[in-house]
Amino acid sequence: MKKAKSLVASVVFGTSLLVGAYAFAGSEKQDLKTDKVTFFGTPSSSISSSVSIPKQYNQLWISGTVPPTLNAKGTTIYEKYGDTQKQAEGIFENLKSQLKAKGLSMKDVVYLRVYVASDPEKGDKPDYTGFFNAYGKYFNTKENPVKTARSTVGVESLVNPDWLVEIEAFVAYK
C-alpha cells in the first residue's frame, strides 16, 4: 500500500510539473512582429524554447560537424579526440572558424541539434554534462548572450565509434 501511495504521489507531482511548465511556456509574450531575431524562454534556462526569425534574414544550415583529431597516434578515444566535453569544444571552435570565414559569429547561431553518443567511461551512457559544460563556454555567456534553441539527443554511436558528439548548427543573419 505504501508503494502505491508513493507511486500515486510521484505521478501527481510529475503531472503538476508538466502542466506548470506547459502553462508557463504558453504564457510568455509572443511578439512575432519585429524585424529582429527573437529568442523566447525562461530566464533561468540555458537554452531558448523557441526562436522567431523574420523573413528578411538569410539562413545558413551547417551539417553535422564532428570533433577534430587531437592526436592521430592516440590509442584510445580520449587520446585521439578527447572526452565528450573536449570533443564538443573542438566542434564549437570549428563552427566558430567556419562562421568567421563567412563574416558571421557564434552570436548568429539560433538553433543547435546535438547528438551525444554513448561514452564507454560513463557506463556506455551519453555524457550530457560534458556537452552542457562545453555549450556553457560558447553560449549564454557575457561574451555571447545568445541562448540557442536546441535539441540534445542521446544516440548509441556515431559513424566513427570514437566520436562522442556531432553538432548541426542553424544560423540567421542579415
Q: What is the pLDDT of residues 85-112, one digit of tens each?
A: 999 999 999 999 999 999 999 999 999 9
Query: Which regions of 123-164 does DSSP assign to beta strands (E)?
Result: 125-126, 149-155
Pick the more confident residue, 27 or 140: 140
* pLDDT score recorded for residue 6: 46
- List residues bridging with 119 in a β-sheet: 125
Cα–chain-centroid distance for residue 152? 5
Question: Which of these, 46, 53, 63, 62, lies nearest to 148 by C-alpha position?
Answer: 46
Check whether domain 31-173 has CATH 3.30.1330.40, yes or no:
yes
* pLDDT score recorded for residue 147: 97
3 pLDDT exceeds 80? no
Express each pLDDT in 106-131 by its tens digit. 999 999 999 999 999 999 999 999 99
Mean pLDDT of 166-173: 98
For the full predicted model, state whether its pTM sits above 0.85: no
Please, what is the average pLDDT of the chain? 87
Query: Which regions of the chain does DSSP assign to beta strands (E)?
Result: 38-40, 50-52, 58-65, 109-119, 125-126, 149-155, 165-173
> CA–CA separation, 61 vs 159, rounded Å?
20
* pLDDT score recorded for residue 23: 39
> CA–CA separation, 103 vs 108, rounded Å?
10
Express each pLDDT in 28-43 by its tens digit. 556 677 889 999 999 9
- Cβ(116)–Cβ(126) below 8 Å: yes
- Cβ(81)–Cβ(89) below 8 Å: no
- List residues bridging with 152 in a β-sheet: 114
* pLDDT score recorded for residue 28: 53
- Cβ(173)–Cβ(107) below 8 Å: no
